[in-house]
Amino acid sequence: MSYKRVTLSQFLMEGQHRYGGSGTLTSLLTDIRTTCKMISHEVNRGAMAGNMGVAGTENVQGEEQKKLDVLANDIFLHMTAQSGNYAAMASEELEDVHVVHGSAGRYLLLFDPLDGSSNIDINIAVGSVFSILRLPDGASGETLESFLQPGVKQVAAGYAIYGSSTMLVLTTGHGVNGFTLDQNIGVFVLTHPNMRIPEDASEFAINASRARFWEPPVKRYIDECLAGAEGPRGRDFNMRWVAAMVAEVHRILCRGGVFMYPVDDKNTKQGGKLRLMYEANPMAFIVEQAGGRAITGQDRILDINPTGLHQRVGVILGSKNEVDRLERYHQDYEATAGKAEV
Ligand code: AFP
């Protein structure tokens, strides 16, 4: 490989000059970069560092925490607090807002420190997801209301994937770029410039064990995919399910497809499964910036006005034409269901 490579630091500096930034965004993302390198190291050490298994505690959502969930959360809190850029943070693993005392920072950080943690003990890809918001003028980082901004307000978002290699994928609203960690020199290198999601695809990801709970538009879409070349779509579809949204979104960025964790008959009460503020919003920002779409079924995810830090939402995202189709199926269903009620 050529030594003429673009590192993440060089890329951020260049973006700062091109878009006339003050350097704050570069600094915010530098904190994240270091955080993800440290988590990657801990994930890679696995059983040798005693990092596997459960922590014996539950998070705010009542989910069992793995040791690495707790460790990754601590690394995020510690490493991103030091620069004083963030006024406050919110995490999947913490019930309330975490205030960075003594910080004059004007940004808010939301994160899922280790997404897909049920994969840790079986050595399958996991990741970290983050979203950065501006602290509204006159607001304090201590209040929950400061965080309750729709996804369109994000200034940056991204994820790290700890897979067969470690990658950091970022957007600041000017497209999506992917960086691979060169483990030998400890530097992220630009390997996937300007990532674009193909508009058409023949691959879907959904937890099929929930098929009996699916709403009719989702069932219609999947049934048509499964019917393959002999069905209405006239072609065969492939299926994948990694059980880590980071890995599903990464696959979609690399080769297209659709990922769904929709609202279904079993999770309606909670609003869905995935968390809006630190899972759906950052991924929706990335997907849209790469030319794809992200909806709940009916609505654009980035337009949702949040009501809670740990709010859940239905998620359908990926290749534009496939998501358009799913949206159409939801509209068709609502139109006919509406008529049936009259
Ligand atoms: P964890 O981070 O708690 O493992 O959850 C992962 C996740 O939120 C998302 O990344 C997956 O797509 C989804 O849950 C998997 O859910 P199922 O276990 O229902 O397949």
Instruction: Give the pLDDT confidence of 223-242 residue by residue, as tens digits.
Output: 999 999 999 999 999 999 99
Mutate to test the pocket of ligand 1, among 118, 119, 278 (most ligand atoms within 8 A of CB): 118
Q: Are 323 and 316 in contact (CB under 8 A)?
A: yes
* Whether residue 254 has its Cβ less than 6 Å from ligand 1: no
Place of tokens 């849209």: 288
Token reading at 187 = 């530097």
Q: Which residues contact 148 (CB under 8 A, 6 or more apart)?
A: 305, 306, 307, 308, 309
pLDDT of residue 163: 95
Q: Name the pLDDT band for 104 (thresholds 50, 70, 90).
A: confident
* Whether residue 261 has its Cβ less than 6 Å from ligand 1: yes
Q: What is the DSSP string of 320-339?
A: HHHHHHHHHHHHHHHHHHHH
* Whether residue 63 has its Cβ less than 6 Å from ligand 1: yes
Query: Per mean pLDDT, which range of 6-15, 54-63, 95-104, 193-202 is the poorest?
Result: 54-63
Token reading at 122 = 């079986």
Cα(43)–Cα(158) distance, integer angstroms = 18
- Determine the distance separating the centroid of ligand 1 and the alpha carbon of 119, expressed in angstroms: 9
DSSP state of 314: -
Nearest atom (ligand 1) to Cα of 261: 12
pLDDT > 90 in the chain, percent = 78
Quick: pLDDT tens for 238-274: 999 999 999 999 999 999 999 999 999 999 999 999 9
